[in-house]
Amino acid sequence: MAKQVIFLGPSLSHEKAKKILPEAEYRPPAKKGDLLRLAADSEVSMVGLVDGVFLQDYPPTPIEVYQLAVKPGVLIAGAASLGALRAVELEKFGMMGIGRVFQLYKKGMIDADDEVAVTFAPDGDYRLQSEAMVDIRYNLFLARKKGVIGRKTKKAMTAVAKEIYFPHRNYALIIEAATSRHAELDGEIRAFEKYIGSERKSLKESDAIRLVEYFRDHRSTPAPR
């Protein structure tokens, strides 16, 4: 069976991923040099790039990801986070993009690195310490769709969240800042606070699941380019 390596961390836990595809090799969020070492591994045929470091270390550069993208017999796919960013940059060289975050970048609906950047615990469980802007947008969209908040509140809270430096983004801070700035929206902001406590969704997690499922369903070695 082809060797499958997936770089995964805060977007989807290794435990959840292993329930979908137990035989894959799951590694921590990728840092500079990790993909170059894989390019020299003749047994690797499928590489999934989901999570990478942002503040803790240097992330894999487009150049090193390119080395895998053009290697015959190797499929590299990206999704959800840093993987989606690199897939947009390197799709023309053969890297596959999976999921809605990738599509949002590809269509120019989002364009900044901080849309997916988060901080997370370094102790092995990669517990989130901040929220990704793309997930905040998604939850505000769902809350608006379900009638929890109106258009004005959605727009105001999105703007407040975007202004917060990404390592500090969390719902408590967003709600506090939005309430302070938009007192007239207090009722809907508090309704969102209650909603997000039990209804939080993650676009990044769902995209990471899609990548793992793709690897599960395409275990055979990719044809050489």
Tens-place pLDDT, residues 111-141: 999 999 999 887 777 888 999 999 999 999 9
Looking only at the bridges linking them, the beta strands covering 44-49 and 3-7 are parallel
pLDDT at res. 1: 53
- Residues, the chain: 225
pLDDT > 80? residue 194: yes
pLDDT > 70? residue 106: yes
Please report, for the chain, the start and end positions of each structural domain, with discontinuous segments joined by +. 3-121+206-217, 133-201
pLDDT > 50? residue 224: no
Q: What is the pTM of this model?
A: 0.92
Mean of pLDDT over the chain = 93
pLDDT at res. 220: 62
Q: Looking at the chain, which runs of residues are DSSP E strands?
A: 3-7, 25-27, 44-49, 75-79, 96-98
> Tell me: the pLDDT tens digits for 48-68?
999 998 776 788 999 999 999
pLDDT at res. 222: 52
Separation CA 62–CA 95 (nearest Å): 11
Are the C-beta atoms of residues 49 and 77 closer than 8 Å to each other?
Answer: yes
Angle at 16 between CA 2 and CA 50, to 5 degrees: 60
**Domain spanning 3-121+206-217, CATH class:** alpha beta
Separation CA 182–CA 88 (nearest Å): 36
Amino acid at 93: F
Lowest mean pLDDT among 56-70, 88-102, 128-142, 186-200: 56-70
Separation CA 195–CA 24 (nearest Å): 36
